Structure 1
Amino acid sequence: MTRPGRSLGTKVALAVAVAAACVAGAVGVLVHRLTAADQLATARAAIDREMVTAAYDHAAGRRNDARVNRPDLPAPVARAVRGKVRVTYLHDGVLWAATPIAGGKVLALKRSYSPQEQALSTLDRTLLATGAAATLVVSLAGLLLGMRMGRRATAAARTAERIAEGDLDARVHPRGHDEIARLAASVNTMADALGARLEAERRVTADIAHELRTPVAGMSTAVGLLPPGRPSELIADSVTKLRGLVEDVLEVARMDAQVAAVEREQREVSAMARRAVAGLAGVSVEIVTDTVVSTDPRRVERILTNLAANALRHGAPPVVMTVDGPVVRVRDHGPGFPDDLLTVLHASGPQRFRTGDRTGGTGLGLTIATGQARLLGAQLTFRNRPEGGAETELRLT
């Protein structure tokens, strides 16, 4: 299974972290603005009350902090006061209050706004620290949640891959009631349906093959009673092919049902190779090195016969079977395996009733060879030679 980019858990954790950071930032900005506006409004109200008191004191001749026609009065304040209104104005960290008095003069009062600015800076630092801590905590929670979701999704994906590879007993153990649990249950349902369908197909195939054995045997007997001639030869050849097909189907059914038994013996690999091609004209055997292996000779010979027959049918002569210790290679000099068939062979093994070319055939030869190799614990690989031709390698253990 490929692992592109970030995992689901990482993506969930990043999404939660980004969302938490955005929420913390939005809340911080909102609190900052509301607090700043409230502080300014409170300070303006306080200095405005002082300004009113100072105006009464000035009119009564009492001393106060207000000054008349201050030279440092900001120009915007001076312009506003000319409109005969009392004003407050924040400028460069100083809060001003001014009001017109008799004689066209301006009475002004100023207070430092530094305490409010310092309090707002302290609040900003507190909001930043709190937001960072909250984002970290929420991100960790999101990471844990994402990792849990990722593990569950990965388990479902791996189980689906095992099912696709032929392990129909693989199941997911769904937990919870969310979408991932539903996905896990769907994978199990799919496996159950696929297993039931394959079992039905295997049963039907085996039943048909068993039912055909009797009439095919009768046909073989009847062919022997026909008078000699070309028609009799054609019928005999067709019956022989039909009998071989029925036996192949039965062999596949037995392997699918996992009832085939392996009977191991000590045999020379070269002897098994020669017996496998004894009835095939056009196949030569070359011995590089020989060895003795413990295996089921009947199944090994069946594998090699099928590989050689497949090379004769779909490739081109000469077909050479090379024995190199426990490794047997069958090579032809034809066009090689088609690219699409080679992809299938590497991914999931040969598929019955599919040959990948236009020369006919059932595709059971490679299927049986692969099944027999699996029973023996041997390794069967398919490839095309760079100089041309297909090559199949059987590695016995």
Structure 2
Amino acid sequence: MNIGTKVALAVATTAVCVAATIGVLVHRITAGNQLATARAELDRQLMSAAYDFTAARKSAARVDPSNLPGPVAEAVRRGVRVTYLQTDGTRPVLWAATRVSDRNVLALSRSYTPEARSLAALDGTLAAAGAAATFVVSLAGLILGTRVGRRATAAARTAERIADGELDARVDPDGRDEIARLAVSVNSMADALSARLESERRVTADIAHELRSPITTMATASGLLPSGPASRLMAAGVDRLRGLVEDVLEVARLDADAATVECEPRQMSAMARRAVNGLDAVEVRVVQDAVVTTDPRRVERIVTNLAANALSHGAPPVLVEVAGTEIRVRDDGPGFPPELLAVLRTSGPQRFFTGSAAYGTGLGLTIAVGQARLIRAWLSFRNRPEGGAEVVLRLPADGPDSDRTDT
């Protein structure tokens, strides 16, 4: 139940309670006033009839009526002049009685039906007015609740878009209430987050660019060293450092949306084989081949990173399986740790986040996810029931320009 429905129900419930309370109060006050007026009038008539009785004149009063209600008779025997509303019959009757001698009781009675009908008509009017007021107030509450719900939903969706990386999304702060303050806060948060990320991107790119020259110098120097274990170790370290710098630059380009996509038709199996060429203990299996229009360089980079990550953090052999427009990368390792898998499924891989000493992501999966997003592909991560991790790359059948629906 959304906030708009809750507001509408709350307003409707309040309107019903207020209408019912007012109706009950008006009913009781009117009923009391009617009865008090009728009793006073009938008592006045009884006193006039008692005067006529003592003067031996005729009147509408009766002496010792046989249908005198029991409570009236008991009160009169105690010397009390009484008025009484009898409601135990088919029609209400109002009585007034008093003693005129030691043995005789003088009583007057009249139908109370007109007052009862008037009260019933008043109840009907109150019910109709209450229902109409409740409907109008509930309709106003529904309109207000719908407007509040739409504004809150818009703010929530904008926050979700910002969380998904759309940092230029903003909320329109309409009004001066709490939701408008929330919209301003969301916009301020997005501005601060965008500024911080932009600063981090610049720092990352600047560091990577500054490292290129020293690495080139180190590579040249290592080539001048005499051949031996030390020179080979030096060359391997320099190559690894160069690869890390290139990865950092690639991440910076992806973050800055500076990368371009160059598409052409390619076979899925050919891209998979080229991607793992040079990687030991990696097998390519083609279940079903397909031709897709995509950026082959980026697809191969994704598969290379996934396979290398599986070799580094999983256990060989690593299987790269081609099934139509999907490429599945599996290993026989312990699988993704639960905390790492939760991060991968929600916010995507975080740079250099490992989750445990047994499995990590470094920059490989970060680049893979960025490249996949660029060509409108979809990556999913899971642990297989039989053991090991599995990453599925699904390419859009109609190319990167087609609409993609993540499932």
Query: TM over 0.5: same fold?
Result: yes
Aligned residue pair count: 392
2:402 is matched with which residue?
A: none
Is 1:33 aligned to residue 32 of structure 2? no
2:403 is matched with which residue?
A: none
Structure 1 position 338, deviation (Å): 2.4
Q: TM-score, normalised by structure 1?
A: 0.91
Q: Distance in 2 between matches of 1:30 and 1:266?
A: 81
1:3 is matched with which residue?
A: none
Is 1:74 aligned to residue 65 of structure 2? no
Query: How has the CA–CA distance of structure 1 residues 125 and 59 changed in structure 2, closer, same or farther, with 3 Å as cutoff?
Result: same
1:9 is matched with which residue?
A: 4
Q: Distance in 2 between matches of 1:242 and 1:134?
A: 76
Moved more, 229-238 or 25-34: 229-238
Query: How has the CA–CA distance of structure 1 residues 290 and 9 changed in structure 2, closer, same or farther, with 3 Å as cutoff?
Result: closer
Q: String of CA shifts for 1:279-326, please: whole Å, max 9, x gaps.
A: 322223334455554433332222222111111101111112234454
Q: Distance in 2 between matches of 1:112 and 1:326?
A: 91
Moved more, 297-306 or 29-38: 297-306
Query: How has the CA–CA distance of structure 1 residues 330 and 53 changed in structure 2, closer, same or farther, with 3 Å as cutoff?
Result: same
2:146 is matched with which residue?
A: 147
Moved more, 30-39 or 211-220: 211-220
Q: Distance in 2 between matches of 1:253 and 1:27?
A: 68
| Identical counterparts, % of pairs | 68
Q: SS of 1:61's equivalent?
A: coil
Q: Distance in 2 between matches of 1:80 and 1:394?
A: 96
1:101 is matched with which residue?
A: 100
Which amino acid in structure 1 is aligned with residue 133 of structure 2?
A
Which amino acid in structure 1 is aligned with residue 223 of structure 2?
G
Q: TM-score, normalised by structure 2?
A: 0.89
Which amino acid in structure 1 is aligned with residue 84 of structure 2?
Y
Structure 1 position 100, deviation (Å): 2.3
Moved more, 19-28 or 222-231: 222-231
Q: Distance in 1 between matches of 2:79 and 2:323?
A: 113
> Mapping of 1:1-397 within 5 angstroms?
6-92=1-87, 93-288=92-287, 290-359=289-358, 363-396=362-395, 397=399
Structure 1 position 63, deviation (Å): 0.8
- Assess if the C-alpha contact under 8 Å between 2:334 and 2:388 holds in 1: yes
Q: Distance in 2 between matches of 1:327 and 1:74?
A: 94
Moved more, 73-82 or 312-321: 73-82
Structure 1 position 21, deviation (Å): 0.9
Q: String of CA shifts for 1:44-103, please: whole Å, max 9, x gaps.
A: 110111111111111222111112233332232233223433221222322111222244
Q: String of CA shifts for 1:249-302, please: whole Å, max 9, x gaps.
A: 111001101111223344444443333223322223334455554433332222
Which amino acid in structure 1 is aligned with residue 53 of structure 2?
H
Q: Distance in 1 between matches of 2:265 and 2:6?
A: 57
Q: Distance in 1 between matches of 2:232 and 2:384?
A: 38
Q: String of CA shifts for 1:189-208, please: whole Å, max 9, x gaps.
A: 21111111111111111111
Which amino acid in structure 2 is aligned with residue 130 of structure 1?
A
Q: Distance in 2 between matches of 1:121 and 1:183?
A: 51
Structure 1 position 335, deviation (Å): 1.8
Query: How has the CA–CA distance of structure 1 residues 154 and 56 changed in structure 2, closer, same or farther, with 3 Å as cutoff?
Result: same
Q: Distance in 1 between matches of 2:51 and 2:265?
A: 123
Q: Distance in 2 between matches of 1:240 and 1:57?
A: 130
Which amino acid in structure 2 is aligned with residue 33 of structure 1?
R
Q: Distance in 2 between matches of 1:215 and 1:58?
A: 131
Q: Distance in 2 between matches of 1:38 and 1:72?
A: 27
- Assess if the C-alpha contact under 8 Å between 2:337 and 2:359 holds in 1: no
Moved more, 378-387 or 7-16: 378-387
Q: SS of 1:224's equivalent?
A: helix
Query: How has the CA–CA distance of structure 1 residues 359 and 238 changed in structure 2, closer, same or farther, with 3 Å as cutoff?
Result: farther
Moved more, 10-19 or 360-369: 360-369
Q: Distance in 2 between matches of 1:324 and 1:88?
A: 97
